[in-house]
Structure 1
Amino acid sequence: MSFGIRRRFVASAACALAAAAGQTLASGSGENIIIIADPLNAESMYVANYYRAARNVPAENVLYFSPGADDYQAFVAWNLKALETLIAERGIQNQADYIVLMPGSPFYIDAPGLVSDGCSPVRRFSISGAYSTAFVADEVLGGVSSNFNNRYARNTFTMVRFDSETTYFAGSPSSDPNAQRYYIGAMLGYTGERGNTLQEILDNVDRSVAADFTRPAGTFYFCETSDQTRSAPRHNTFNNVIAQIESQGGAGSHEFRQMPRNEDDVLCVLTGAAVLDIPGANMTILPGAYADHLTSYGAMFDNQNQTKISDWIREGATASVGAVEEPCNYAGKFTHARSMVYYHQGASMGESIFRALNFTPFQGLLYGDPMCRLFDYPVTVTVQDPPTDPASGGVEISPTGQTDKPGNFVFDYEVVVDNRRMDADFALPLEVDTTQLEDGWHDLRVFGYDTSTIRSLGVWQGELIINNHGRSAELASVSGTSGDLSTTFVFDARSVAGGTGAPVEIRLVQHDRVLAAASGCEATLEVAGVQLGAGDSDIHAEALFADGMRVRSAPIRVSVDYTEGTPGGSVPDVFQSTVWVGDATEAFVSVPYLFDDASDALTFEIIDAPAQAAIVAGPDGPYRLLRPDGQASGFDVMTYRVTASSGQSAVGRVVLVYDRHPLDIDANGSFDLEDLYAIHAAPADANLDGVVDNADVRFLEATLRCGEARDVSSR
């Protein structure tokens, strides 16, 4: 069996396991966050690493591509397809609920003529709204009204947990043909004009994470103003909402002014005004708070008029929502006051806002951290006798859990490996079938869920080392593990095959992204700090085998300062790497390179397109989205070049494998002695660099040393 195909089987098997367990699991932790970062934007990369560490987001959930597009049609054709492809390739469909965009993203997508509105034309979608509507994009392209219902919302005080795999109708999970799926999209921060500074965004992340589960005493302030255009869409709901919050043990206040003043307990400000002097109110906005002011240009950062939602973040709020263009003031377009009821019940910030938004969020930008769980109760999960030695076959996991939430207990559990669901049930022990996974190091996590409607969860984290085939990988730092953006980090990477066929490639990987690669089983590989991004990153060695299995080493933590340093002035370097495509209808392909100057603008040019796959029109960064032909077979090659102000790179190569690796001559799923004999007998391009030369002989010799450990000439 090809492991290029087996990785996708795991995701399908996981869906069957969840169905057998009879449950739909809640969102609400770092495992549910998808981070999208622009790999050519140093600020975006820094915040991505920072947020990933703060929220303990699994490596598989970090995606690298430019989040924006020229218009919504291009966004659907490329960005949403790239998102879908990467989530499927990594097998994390069960966990992906929140799409969080880093600074460096545009705050809107041009979308004229798609949404009708008799009051004010809709020409823009917020970037968060564009990702939220991923599953209804076809309907949007066909034309909808601005009051297109959000089917997760319902005008009730009962919270329903959010899950992107669930279809909702009238606010409840449903199999109705009109039910819809969604993501919760959010923009963590914007550092362009009238946005927030980088430090303000990082500070907000720190405040938000620290606020989780604190359930502070404080007051939700609902402010009715004399500005009827901005206040009237929701101020008639304030009294009922306050009564509900008070019935839950909280405190609310119906204010008849623009903002609370001289108050030190602000958990929320919902007001209606175009211009506010927020610092002048002399109020203390508590960590984890929400605030907005329902105005026309609150998130229209390219318009100097009116107060921006970034001002709320600057003053201490965790999240806000604002319009990216002039909206008609239909109440359904804006955050309903009942969102704070859900928030006070323990739902996440993002769930609370989305549950209370009656219309699809075309123009509203959700800004800040959507994952803050200010009023939730923590769940503690422990695992008895977790696996410590290399495992094979079936591994049993026996968790226990507890919660402080009154009247609730931890009822069921889930085990994920590399954030892919392996088992989920209330009957214990859980089991991981390691034969469905690759050899080597894996991230092991166990979730415990309580019995509340919020489905609060806790996470235990460890590691799982698998040895079913005798394959392993090792990584050692040569140059040290700290530096700045211009530092070149050097690693020795190697793999042991264990008699099951030699590796065909060894590479460096960050968050499931190939950074550098070499043919064979061992190499010294380099990557620059700017490519990793500032902050902390976990780097692995990864060995690729001819059956598609990817075997990883334990990670090495690398820390990069957000300083430019002194670039070396060299031209970019490129690599030859392999992508196992299998029978996928689309493949996301990274093109690895080495370059150390964060201030230089790079261009990435495809020299030779693959013969059996089309390149989907889209961004031209260090990646491409490919669509293989229906009859693609064997292997294919795509070549590329990277250009900087210092000059051009050599030509890099990406080998695309559809059903059999080119070194697997006898098609037995392994690169072994029989293949080596065949290549040695008839000189061939053994290292797949496009040339038959002495380098192929050296490749064969190196393969023998760390693969089968025998000499071809002895036969």
Structure 2
Amino acid sequence: MRLRVTVTVFLCLAGMAHAAHAQFKAAPRARLTPSQLAIVINDDDPNSVAVGAYYRKVRDIPHANVVHVNIPNRPQRLDAAQFAVLKKDIDRQLGAGIEAVLMIWTAPYAVECNAITSAFTLGFDAAQCLRSCAPGRPSKYFNSAATQPYTQDGMRLSMLLPTESVPQAKAVIDRGVAAGFRVLPATAYFMVTSDAARNARARFYPPPARLASRKIATRVVKADVLEGADDIIIYQTGMRHVGKLDTLGFRPGALADHLTSLGGDLLGQSQMSSLRWLEAGATASYGTVSEPCNHWQKFPHPAILLKHYVGGASAIEAYWKSVAWPAQGLFIGEPLATPYRR
């Protein structure tokens, strides 16, 4: 499967086979729409309330799709019992036709060793917490062709929109909206760093190529940092901390993540938080909330992420489809960003 995906992406991007290129641009796919997205607001968090109101307005989310909960004290982690109560409260407020959920707050972002997004979408996985480095429970949405994950597979995708700063959260939203207006020339950068343990995904990097119809190129860069690039649509690397972010320019809708143990521990101090990507200009990101070890299956697969995003999927769909074992992985950002929609 991995070889087939990599070859397909190479053929599509490099234009080496007309038939493969035509298949890549096959019949239009449905994509997640605002009417299929519910937003969850923590009424005990003023930032959540402010950002939720802004998101509902600019994305034209139906009033019926707005869910209100009360989570006092903004704990970083919930235990399984606390999460069960929260999920039941959310589920009872969801109407028909909801395929995905956006939680609008920074914390809580974990349920014991699980990420709150995976616990919501797949159910809390207590077994993973017994051995956090063990293989994870497979996601049937991995590299799936499904266009309605809840209707087809019983999975409501979920993402977290952090609200530590209201202006920054609004900027993330604005970038997601801007991504849908026109296709800009952009590059997907894949870094091969000196950190061998965190280079687990390098063997899946798409080869350097260009797809003119999408105005996108792929580059594999052998360096610890990317500096001065101003056309980023995807940036994937493996480091505890990623430098030179202040020198970079991200296209609206850009996805960026780093393979490290605790990127999803948003308010932790031991490693770079995935929040730094959003602050630097990315529109969505991903990180694990507990020690995953460097199983590539617990992180976004580069070729699969690229294939689905360039193929017209939204940020939430492309990211979820790219992770094989997502129990410990937190998906953050603006879910409806779709720079390559048909």
Fold shared, TM-score > 0.5 on shorter chain: yes
Superposed displacement of residue 149, structure 1 = 0.6
CA–CA distance in 1 between the matches of 2:233 and 2:82? 39
Match in the other structure for 2:262: 297
Task: Indicate whether 1:36 and 2:40 are aligned.
Answer: yes
Structure 1 gap ranges (5+): 1-24, 111-123, 168-180, 192-196, 378-715
Give runs of aligned pairs for residues 116-265 of structure 1, distance below 5 A. 124-134=113-123, 137=124, 140=125, 146-154=135-143, 159-167=145-153, 181-191=154-164, 197-231=165-199, 233-240=200-207, 242=208, 250-265=216-231
Superposed displacement of residue 263, structure 1 = 1.8
Give runs of aligned pairs for residues 651-670 of structure 1, distance below 5 A. none
Picking from 79, 82, 89, the partner of 1:74 is: 82
CA–CA distance in 2 between the matches of 1:336 and 1:225? 17
**1:465-502 deviation per Cα after TM superposition (whole angstroms, max 9, x unaligned):** xxxxxxxxxxxxxxxxxxxxxxxxxxxxxxxxxxxxxx
Picking from 236, 242, 247, the partner of 1:276 is: 242
- Determine if contact 2:43/2:70 at 8 Å carries over to the other structure: yes
CA–CA distance in 1 between the matches of 2:309 and 2:103? 22
Match in the other structure for 2:273: 308
CA–CA distance in 1 between the matches of 2:194 and 2:256? 19
- Determine if contact 1:107/1:190 at 8 Å carries over to the other structure: no
- Determine if contact 1:278/1:312 at 8 Å carries over to the other structure: no
Change (3 A) 1:214 1:258: farther
Superposed displacement of residue 260, structure 1 = 2.6
Change (3 A) 1:66 1:133: farther
Larger fraction in helix: 2
Relative contact order (alpha carbons < 8 A, sep ≥ 6): 1 or 2 greater? 2
Task: Indicate whether 1:83 and 2:90 are aligned.
Answer: yes
CA–CA distance in 2 between the matches of 1:150 and 1:368? 21
Larger fraction in strand: 1
Change (3 A) 1:127 1:50: same
Match in the other structure for 1:577: none
Superposed displacement of residue 248, structure 1 = 6.5
- Determine if contact 2:50/2:166 at 8 Å carries over to the other structure: no
Task: Indicate whether 1:341 and 2:283 are aligned.
Answer: no
Change (3 A) 1:265 1:143: closer
Match in the other structure for 2:102: 100
CA–CA distance in 2 between the matches of 1:47 and 1:108? 21
Superposed displacement of residue 363, structure 1 = 1.3
Superposed displacement of residue 129, structure 1 = 1.6
Is the partner of 2:255 in helix, strand or coil?
strand
| TM-score, length of structure 2 as denominator length | 0.82
Picking from 47, 50, 75, the partner of 2:51 is: 47
- Determine if contact 1:319/1:367 at 8 Å carries over to the other structure: yes
- Determine if contact 1:266/1:286 at 8 Å carries over to the other structure: yes
User: What amino acid maps onto 1:344 in structure 2?
Assistant: V
Picking from 295, 305, 312, the partner of 1:330 is: 295
CA–CA distance in 1 between the matches of 2:261 and 2:178? 32
User: What amino acid maps onto 1:93 in structure 2?
Assistant: A
CA–CA distance in 2 between the matches of 1:58 and 1:254? 42
Is the partner of 2:271 in helix, strand or coil?
coil
Match in the other structure for 1:11: none
- Determine if contact 2:226/2:244 at 8 Å carries over to the other structure: no
**1:397-430 deviation per Cα after TM superposition (whole angstroms, max 9, x unaligned):** xxxxxxxxxxxxxxxxxxxxxxxxxxxxxxxxxx
- Determine if contact 1:296/1:323 at 8 Å carries over to the other structure: yes
Q: Which moved more, 1:213-222 or 1:144-153?
A: 144-153
User: What amino acid maps onto 1:184 in structure 2?
Assistant: L
Change (3 A) 1:223 1:70: closer
Match in the other structure for 1:353: 319
CA–CA distance in 2 between the matches of 1:278 and 1:100? 30
Structure 2 gap ranges (5+): 1-28
CA–CA distance in 2 between the matches of 1:70 and 1:283? 35
User: What amino acid maps onto 2:121 in structure 1?
Assistant: S
Change (3 A) 1:229 1:190: farther
CA–CA distance in 2 between the matches of 1:104 and 1:307? 15
- Determine if contact 2:183/2:214 at 8 Å carries over to the other structure: no
Identical aligned residues as a percent: 26
CA–CA distance in 2 between the matches of 1:224 and 1:130? 31
Task: Indicate whether 1:60 and 2:27 are aligned.
Answer: no
After superposition, the CA RMSD in angstroms is 2.4
Superposed displacement of residue 278, structure 1 = 3.2
- Determine if contact 2:31/2:313 at 8 Å carries over to the other structure: no
Change (3 A) 1:366 1:142: closer
Is the partner of 1:251 in helix, strand or coil?
strand
CA–CA distance in 1 between the matches of 2:127 and 2:271? 33
CA–CA distance in 2 between the matches of 1:346 and 1:308? 28
Match in the other structure for 2:3: none
**1:132-151 deviation per Cα after TM superposition (whole angstroms, max 9, x unaligned):** 214xx5xx357796421101
Task: Indicate whether 1:319 and 2:284 are aligned.
Answer: yes
Change (3 A) 1:105 1:307: closer
Superposed displacement of residue 84, structure 1 = 2.4
Match in the other structure for 1:459: none
CA–CA distance in 2 between the matches of 1:26 and 1:75? 31
Superposed displacement of residue 313, structure 1 = 0.8
Superposed displacement of residue 302, structure 1 = 4.0
Change (3 A) 1:327 1:141: closer
CA–CA distance in 1 between the matches of 2:179 and 2:206? 27
For these two proteins, the number of residue pairs brought into alignment is 305
**1:279-308 deviation per Cα after TM superposition (whole angstroms, max 9, x unaligned):** 35x221111101111111212134312222
Is the partner of 1:239 in helix, strand or coil?
coil
User: What amino acid maps onto 2:202 in structure 1?
Assistant: H
- Determine if contact 1:43/1:104 at 8 Å carries over to the other structure: no
Change (3 A) 1:218 1:257: same
Superposed displacement of residue 93, structure 1 = 2.4
Superposed displacement of residue 274, structure 1 = 0.7
**1:42-66 deviation per Cα after TM superposition (whole angstroms, max 9, x unaligned):** 2111111111111111001101113
Match in the other structure for 1:384: none
